[in-house]
Amino acid sequence: MTKMTPAEAMTAMLENLTPHQRPFGYAEAYQAAQGLTSGSAAQASAILGILGVSQFADIDTPPGMGVPLNFPDDHRIHLENSNEWYWASANLLASDGVTQIGVLMTTLNARLIPQKIQARAGWSDAECQVVATATTVMIHDGTQSRIVRGQPNIRWLIGGDDVIFPSAETRVYRCGDDTWSWGSEQVLPLRIQSRCGEAAIDLTLTTGMALDKAWFLQDIGGRTAPPRAGLYYSWPQLAVTGTVKVGEEVFDVSGKGWVDHQLMMATPPDAKDPPPPVPRHSAASLDRGFNGWQWCQFNLDNGDAYTGATFQEGPFRTNILAGFSGYITKENGAWVPNPIPAEWRFDALISTLHDVIQPTEWAYELKGPLPGDVSGSGVSTTIVASPLHLDGGFIGAGLQVNSEVAATVMMTCTPTSGPILTVSGAGYCETIDAETQEHYVLRMLDFLAGEAGPPAP
């Protein structure tokens, strides 16, 4: 069987979309797809970004709610689905006892064509994936801070790029110079290696817990509900050691880390929906709304953890209830998520890469008693995050501007009677898709038309 070329496969994917699923920028994306070659990984990724949720049309969805997760099998990569993240962060202290370093490394693989197009294209599941990695290093030397960002690293196996997908035999995920190496089927110990501009990282994340109990299921039993169906689980409170090189300086570091594995697919427009209105786009229309989220994870110094997410749809809200929120404790040697309602507040915002607005101050008001408060005494709990560096913006998959900020945190519990309890900690605050879709699409159309190079970090 003769394989389709990248141009043939991507134009077939676009032609497969119903009129209801063809967003603003579709015509230009289709024209760009006709010129795709095996060396056009960034362009292919940008086309997916333009499509938004329509990129998931006709792609097999992951198992639904109520289906038990099976470990270690569900640690594997799911190439039959799409948009699968591996995400690791570390809050570190150098051996000089002064320099604080925050390290983030993300990898996303996204399926370019649905299975019915794949059958005609003659591609393997691996060849259907475009892979993007991003690494940032935040450094605070006691007086000043800065961030080191790498160039966008987007690869496509069909073009001969250096991509290796993990399997039970290899347990290695490689995208160019960025590598994840799992020490066992249960993931840990995990080694992450990356080159990031003038920085390079080589870190190992481990746990003292039994490997089959060192993770917990996020959201509802590890399943995220439609319209963002998927699976989601995390490893908190990991011990991290290794080296971080910045320029000619090499830091021996240690600290705590967190690992996420998430498969999430949004629901595309249905053919039964009415056709969308023809958009009239201008600079004034770029503030019409957002379709992204904020997320956080904090390793607390009392051995517990906190995590949650809130979703932004429409005008950006600086006070918003969390979509899910959980205080994580250890019981019988295993992590247990304890759902707890929360209101999140974003007290300051800054303009980062490509003038995308991102929060840079965060406060989390937990609306219920923490685990163990059996008295129901009405404890008020606030978590305040302080950034290691104000601007966590970076260029990620689809050449989108996202933000991950390393932060120290202070949790304050104020009971109706008795002493106030304070607990310190550290973690990361995330913002995804804070750029309006219109603004993003206009940037990508300039890129695909050759009027702008790949967005710089």
- Angle at which helix 437-448 crosses helix 41-51, to 10 degrees, equals 150
Question: Which residues does the chain have with pLDDT short of 50?
Answer: 278-288, 375
pLDDT at 285: 38
Domain assignment present for residue 279? The answer is no
Alpha-helix runs per DSSP H in 335-379: none
Nearest CA-CA partner of 19 in 241, 274, 345: 274
Domain assignment present for residue 345? The answer is yes
Domain assignment present for residue 283? The answer is no
- The reported pTM is 0.93
- Cα–Cα distances in Å, from 64 out to 208, 225, 229, 230, 293? 32, 8, 7, 8, 22
Domain assignment present for residue 454? The answer is no
Task: Name beta bridge partners: 252.
Answer: 243
d(CA 25, CA 35): 16
* Pairing mode of beta strands 216-217, 145-149: unpaired
Domains held by the chain: number: 1
d(CA 151, CA 395): 8
* Pairing mode of beta strands 357-366, 342-351: antiparallel
Q: Which domain holds residue 221?
A: 6-274+288-448
Residue 27's CATH number: 2.40.370.10
Residue range 41-65, pLDDT digits in tens: 999 999 999 998 899 999 988 877 6
Residue range 239-267, pLDDT digits in tens: 999 999 999 999 999 999 999 999 988 88
For residue 223, give the 3-state DSSP assignment.
strand
SS3 of 14-33: HHHCCHHHCCCCHHHHHHHH
Domain assignment present for residue 319? The answer is yes
Query: Would you say 80 and 288 are in contact if contact means Cβ atoms under 8 Å apart?
Result: no
Domain assignment present for residue 280? The answer is no
Domain assignment present for residue 1? The answer is no
Domain assignment present for residue 318? The answer is yes
Q: How many CB atoms lie within 10 A of CB 79?
A: 16
pLDDT at 279: 47
